[in-house]
Amino acid sequence: MNLDHYEPFSPLQGVPINIYLYSIKHEANVLTIVMATYPNDGNRYIQVSFRGCFTYRYTLESGRMKFLSEETWTNPFNVSSNSKYLNWFKEEGYGIFDDYDLKHYLLVCDDLIDVISATEPKVEWIPEPTA
């Protein structure tokens, strides 16, 4: 049984559930995640930027099969203020972050990206990224 409590977070309209991770970069205190739709959905790109994230993890879908099987995921963007990952992070910090309004953002695509942040991400459609 999954003890995490997630709510859909819908920062953009028209995002299909089947998207894939294009790139992930953490630079100058900004975590930038680019996801893409599959060709049959128009090859569009979504950029998700977290300014000042506290921690993040990237996991192959096959590494979270148990977690994925415990819930039906209908939205690629999800948020929780009570998850095992968030609780673990707070415990490891010995209360340093108790005054922060931390949220656990879960991005479900062909893989899973977990981000803990005190600020909501900026999410936008972008043109095709250049290398």
pLDDT digits (tens, 9 = 90+) for 49-79: 999 899 999 986 766 766 666 776 778 899 9
Read off the pLDDT of residues 104-119 as tens digits, 9 standing for 90 and up. 999 988 888 999 999 9
Q: Is residue 92 part of a domain?
A: yes
- Return the C-alpha torsion angle 12, 35, 7, 54, nearest 10: -110
Per-residue b/e over 31-43, b at no fewer than 16 CB within 10 Å? bbbbbbbeeeeee
Domain count, the chain: 1
Q: Is residue 131 part of a domain?
A: no
Q: Average pLDDT over the chain, rounded to whole?
A: 88
Q: Is residue 83 part of a domain?
A: yes
Q: What pTM does this model have? A: 0.89
Q: Which structural domain range is residue 29 located in? A: 5-126
